[in-house]
Amino acid sequence: MLALLAVAVAMPLLPAAAQQADDGRKALRICRDPNNLPFQNVRGEGFEDKIAELFAADLGVKVEAFDYPARFNFIRNTLRFKLPGDDFPCDLVMDVPAGFSQGTASTRPYYRSTYALAFPGNKALAGITTVEQFLALPQEKLAKLKIGVIDKSPASDWLAKRGLLDIGVPYRVLVADPEQSSGSIIEGDLIAGKLDAVIIWGPIAGYYAKRYPEADLRVVPMQSERNIKFDYEIAMAVRMADKAWLKTVDGLIERNKAKIDAILADYGVPLLDPLAATPAGGD
């Protein structure tokens, strides 16, 4: 998800002849990152995998996955990839920002979340429960902290706005090594004590807080502000021409909303009211 939030790849539209008939669909064919928990992995352990299983059961078909690392032009090499004479390898991307339109059609949003400040509750930031309390720490204490952030993300902009960029430890969102997942910043460095906190996409923070209860990770949601947008509505994507399939997926989202919310809650995803989204650049 972080890669799609950070990078939009411009691609030509598919011709109308590429539209796949929705009738007779024998499988729910998802485009999957094989190593990207809490979203997806090759063993089907992510919350997007569970939602795909939910949809497949609703349709009375099985799930099939086409695996490709999300960091390498994911849409172009999965949903839009087609060799002459062959079929498309998959029909559904499970997470894109709502309104994503780089040669695709996006569904209605199925959840809204936000970036979060995550930290061990028994170490340097013990007792902190809000972002305001974090910012109110004595300057000499703030100056000693190491806060992991994804480079060129809303988190780095937020630190820069408050004159705290020096305490930020930047991490690249697009890492060439497919063995590294989006949770490595938490699983590898925060829990290991190399960082005091991270500011990262909330579903990642919430998942690892639940996965490692012994780390006593606290997850504090960030609020969007002028010119810094932390919250996003998340949708799914199909090929632009697949209008019948888009309608089907929208129906799956609508009638399975309660079950989707339960899956997201089980994975620790911080959920925000979808009707209260703050537009980019707003107050």
Q: Are residues 88 and 130 in the same domain?
A: no
Q: Are residues 160 and 256 in the same domain?
A: no
Q: Rounded to an integer, what distance in angstroms lies between the CA atom of residue 272 and that of residue 196?
A: 26
Q: Considering the chain, what is the average pLDDT of its residues?
A: 88
Q: Which of the four pLDDT bands, split at 50, 70 and 90, describes residue 14?
A: very low
The residue behind tokens 């997926």 is: 249
Q: Are residues 31 and 165 in the same domain?
A: no
Has residue 22 got a pLDDT over 80? no
Residue 279 inside a domain? The answer is no
Q: Are residues 215 and 124 in the same domain?
A: yes
Once rounded to an integer, what is the mean pLDDT over residues 252-267?
98
Instruction: Please give the pLDDT value at position 1.
Output: 57
Instruction: Please give the pLDDT value at position 15.
Output: 36
Residue 154 inside a domain? The answer is yes
The model's pLDDT over 85-125, given as tens digits with 9 standing for 90+, comes to 899 999 999 999 999 988 899 999 999 999 999 999 999 99
Residue 281 inside a domain? The answer is no
Residue 163 inside a domain? The answer is yes
Residue 14 inside a domain? The answer is no
What is the identity of the amino acid at 227? Answer: N
Give me the number of domains the chain comprises.
Answer: 2
User: b/e per residue, 16-28, with b = 16+ CB within 10 A?
Assistant: eeeebeeeebeeb
Name residues whose C-beta falls within 8 Å of residue 138's C-beta, 6 or more positions apart in sequence.
none
Has residue 283 got a pLDDT over 70? no
Q: Are residues 63 and 133 in the same domain?
A: no
Q: Are residues 123 and 262 in the same domain?
A: no
The model's pLDDT over 31-49, given as tens digits with 9 standing for 90+, comes to 999 999 999 999 999 999 9
Q: Are residues 124 and 214 in the same domain?
A: yes
Residue 127 inside a domain? The answer is yes
Q: Are residues 235 and 216 in the same domain?
A: no
Q: Are residues 150 and 68 in the same domain?
A: no
Backbone angles phi, psi at 221, to 5 degrees: -60, 145
Q: Are residues 107 and 118 in the same domain?
A: no
Residue 226 inside a domain? The answer is no
Q: Are residues 92 and 127 in the same domain?
A: no
Name residues whose C-beta falls within 8 Å of residue 27's C-beta, 6 or more positions apart in sequence.
56, 61, 62, 63, 64
Instruction: Please give the pLDDT value at position 176.
Output: 66
For residue 60, give its domain range: 2-9+23-111+231-273
The model's pLDDT over 131-190, given as tens digits with 9 standing for 90+, comes to 999 999 999 999 999 999 998 899 999 999 999 999 999 998 766 676 777 788 999 899
Q: Are strands 147-150 and 168-171 parallel, antiparallel or unpaired?
A: parallel
Q: Write the CATH number for 128.
A: 3.40.190.10
Name the token pair of 117: 């400040």
CA atoms within 13 A on the CB side of 231: 22
Residue 86 inside a domain? The answer is yes
Q: Are residues 126 and 260 in the same domain?
A: no
Largest CA distance in the chain: 65
Nearest to 167 by CA among 192, 195, 191: 195
User: In the chain, what percentage of residues exceed pLDDT 90?
Assistant: 77
